[in-house]
Amino acid sequence: MRNSYAAANYLSCFLSASTKPRSEIARACGVGKPNRLALMAHGHVPIPFELIIPLSRELSFPPQELFSLCLEVYHPELYACIRELDQDGVVIPKGIDELEVFLRSIPALKDRTPEIMASLYKDFGEDERRSGVGKD
């Protein structure tokens, strides 16, 4: 298992490399104040799953890696189970529809999945969702 700062370090690297002001990134991702991004990047608060796709869009990184890191750090039992089921590595959802099914399978997010998905659909738009945004 990676240390508890693996997801935070990943986010921190992309935030540091970005030329966008943090206030712009925070606003675009619906985070509110930029200091919340700093708290996530320093590992003081967890990175919410619903922010992975907006952050990846704003900071230009593939969402699968951060998703995998967050899953490993914040839900190690589920991550371990998935690793055991898929010996080639974690099965990361490739599209937004697969992500919805996956989020519903995480007990802590099951009840929040409709709100998370509504946010993602708003971010991507219905046409992009149908065209497979996020698929390799």
Q: Report DSSP letters for 74-100, one per residue.
A: H-HHHHHHHHHH-TTS-----SHHHHH
Q: Which residue has the tokens 């991550």?
A: 79
User: pTM for the complete prediction?
Assistant: 0.65
Tell me: pLDDT of 106 over 80: no
Please give the average per-residue pLDDT across 124-135, as a whole number: 41
Amino acid present at 100: E
Buried b (16+ CB within 10 A) or exposed e, 22-46: beebbeebebeebebbebbbebeee
Question: 81: helix, coil or strand?
Answer: helix
pLDDT digit string (tens) for 37-85?
999 999 999 998 889 989 999 999 888 888 888 888 888 887 777 777 6
Query: Is the distance from CB of 56 to CB of 62 less than 8 angstroms?
Result: yes
Query: For the chain, what are the domain ranges?
Result: 6-131
- Token pair for residue 121? 């659909």
Higher pLDDT, 23 or 74: 23
Q: Which of 77, 83, 2, 84 lies closest to 43, judged by CA?
A: 2
* pLDDT confidence tier of residue 128, bands split at 50, 70 and 90: very low
